[in-house]
Amino acid sequence: MNENESNSVDEKSAPNPASDEASRAKEATHSRRAFLFKLSLLANGAVGAVLAVPIFGYLLGPGLKKKQSDLSWIGIGAMSEFPEGETRLTTFRNPVTTAWDGQTGDVSCWVRRISGTQFQVFAVNCAHLGCPVRWFAESKLFLCPCHGGAYYEDGGRASGPPERGLFEYEHRIVGDMLQISAGKMPTLAAKASSGGTLTQIAGTNAPQESTGLQSNQDTAKPRCGSCQG
């Protein structure tokens, strides 16, 4: 309907100077409207760019977090639970969990007590692709079920596809309690421990340090990961 109307108007008005002026006015409004449309695109682009900041902030949030903030000291058992010269599996609750994590909030680790206060705590995750390695006490090897990675009792690479030894948690002894610094899935990009393995003995030797730590960190109480602060 509209098309027909405008067509008929155009036909009639072609030679008419009055409607010539009308078409010029129409042209002017068109150019004004086209300009306004471009302006609106610009405005929407600007709004979109502002909106993109929180959206990408939300999306990339987990990746932008500081690496060390996930780690904290967790008690994984009394020293007496780990016989000397043996390697035992133990489990702990990850320090950062959500209420709906269920069993997935639990983590296992291999504890090797070499002698006395000398410990090594290994992640169960194979350094190849993260599958859970199993300890074979007779052959003194950790074996991975996925692709056959094998490690010696000290965590060193023995054979198979892994390009390095097992990931090792930093640990220390507070009183009689063996604690490890954990909280993050160990991968090649986030090795459980950064440097060499040191057995730190806190407690009787360094009372001021241990009291400071015991007050907030050394109990394996699950924390809320989604809460702020």
Partner 1 sequence: MPGLKQAGNRVYEWLEDRLGLGKPILDAAEHEVPASTASWWYVFGSAATVLLIMQVVTGILLGLVYSPSAGQAWSSLEFLDHSVRLGWFLRALHGWGSDFMIAIVLIHLAQVFLFGAYKFPRELTWIVGVFLLLLTLGMAFTGQVLRFDQDAYWGLGIGASIMSRVPIVGGSLVDMMLGGPIIAGPTLTRFFALHVFIIPGALLSLVGVHLWMVLRLGINEWPMPGRLVNKSTYTSEYRKLTKETGIAFVPDAAWKDAIFAAAIMLAVMACAFYFGPFGPTGQPDPTIIQTAPKPDFAFLWIFAVLAYLPPSLETPVLFIAPVLIVGAMLLLPLVSGEGEKHWSRRPVAVLMVAVIAVTLGIFTHLGTYTPWSPVMDAWTADPIPAAYLHDRTPLERQGALVLQNKQCRNCHSIGGTGGLRGPALDGIASRMTEDQIIRQVLQGGGNMPAYGNALSPAETTALVRFLTSLRSENQPAAFDASRNLVTNEPQPAAPTGTH
Nearer to partner 1, 103 or 204 (CB): 103
Nearer to partner 1, 113 or 184 (CB): 184
Smallest gap from residue 4 Cβ to partner 1 (A): 19
Q: If binding is defined by CB under 8 A, does position 72 make contact with partner 1?
A: no
Query: What tokens were used for 80?
Result: 């007496």
Q: If binding is defined by CB under 8 A, does position 150 make contact with partner 1?
A: yes
Smallest gap from residue 119 Cβ to partner 1 (A): 19
Please select the residue that binds partner 1; options are 13, 19, 187, 214, rule is CB under 8 A: 187
Residue 45 CB partners (closer than 8 Å, separation 6+): none
Query: What tokens were used for 130?
Result: 């993260």
Rounded to whole angstroms, the Cα distance separating 33 from 51 reads 26
Strands 96-97 and 223-224: parallel
Distance of CA 116 to the CA centre of its chain: 35
Q: If binding is defined by CB under 8 A, does position 98 make contact with partner 1?
A: yes
Q: If binding is defined by CB under 8 A, does position 148 make contact with partner 1?
A: yes
Smallest gap from residue 167 Cβ to partner 1 (A): 11
For residues 96 and 225, is the Cβ–Cβ distance under 8 A? Answer: yes
Residue 3 CB partners (closer than 8 Å, separation 6+): none
The single-letter DSSP state of residue 10 is: H
The DSSP annotation for 114-183 comes to: EETTEEEEEESB-TTT-PBPEEETTTTEEE-TTT--EEETTS-EEESS-SS---EEEEEEETTEEEEEE-
Smallest gap from residue 36 Cβ to partner 1 (A): 31
Q: If binding is defined by CB under 8 A, does position 207 make contact with partner 1?
A: no
Q: If binding is defined by CB under 8 A, does position 227 make contact with partner 1?
A: no
Q: If binding is defined by CB under 8 A, does position 153 make contact with partner 1?
A: yes
Q: Which stretch binds partner 1 (CB under 8 A): 9-17, 33-41, 73-81, 157-165?
A: 157-165
Q: If binding is defined by CB under 8 A, does position 217 make contact with partner 1?
A: no
Site for partner 1 in 100-129 (CB under 8 A): 100-108, 124-125, 128-129
Nearer to partner 1, 19 or 90 (CB): 90
Strands 168-174 and 177-182: antiparallel
Helix (H, G, I), strand (E, B) or coil at 224: strand
Binding site for partner 1 (CB under 8 A): 59-60, 62-65, 67, 70, 89, 91, 94, 96-98, 100-108, 124-125, 128-134, 136, 138-141, 143, 145-148, 150, 152-153, 158-163, 183-185, 187-190, 225-226
